[in-house]
């Protein structure tokens, strides 16, 4: 499980770097300021959670059961949260109206929050 978590963290990290560079250079000319800020928010949260997964996969402080649950929540959370932000922010470029997926952003955020809460609860219940 740790290898999968670490691999996912690495993939999320390098994709965040690519998308960040893409946003800073290619999209800067075609998105308005608020769309660019939204896109950058998606990149930041993806990178934060890439680092989180690297911590999770290399930590012995977290039980295996909690790791599996947190991994699933973070994977789905990042895909829904950041993914929906990327699509919504670039709708002018793609000419596709993604408004129907706007509900996925808060759902993804909630999944990430729950993952953090499970981490907290698992760590505090662990005996010294």
Domain that holds residue 7: 2-125
Predicted local distance difference test score (pLDDT) of residue 94 = 86
Alpha-carbon distance of 41 to 81, in angstroms, equals 10
Predicted local distance difference test score (pLDDT) of residue 128 = 59
What is the band of 97 on the pLDDT scale with cuts at 50, 70, 90?
Answer: confident
Q: Taking Cα atoms as reference points, which of 66, 71, 49 lies closest to residue 119?
A: 66
How high is the mean pLDDT of the chain? 94
Per-residue pLDDT for 111 more than 70? yes
Give the total number of structural domains in the chain.
1
């Amino acid at each position: 499980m740790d290898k999968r978590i670490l691999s996912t963290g690495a993939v999320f990290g390098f994709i965040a770097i690519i998308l960040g560079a893409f946003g800073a250079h290619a999209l800067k000319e075609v998105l308005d300021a608020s769309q660019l800020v939204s896109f950058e928010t998606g990149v930041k949260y993806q990178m934060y959670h890439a680092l989180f997964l690297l911590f999770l996969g290399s930590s012995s402080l977290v039980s295996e059961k909690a790791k599996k649950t947190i991994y699933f929540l973070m994977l789905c959370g990042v895909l829904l949260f950041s993914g929906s932000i990327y699509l919504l922010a670039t709708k002018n470029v793609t000419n596709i109206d993604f408004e129907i997926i706007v509900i996925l952003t808060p759902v993804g955020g909630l999944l990430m929050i729950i993952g953090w809460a499970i981490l907290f609860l698992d760590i505090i219940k662990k005996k010294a």
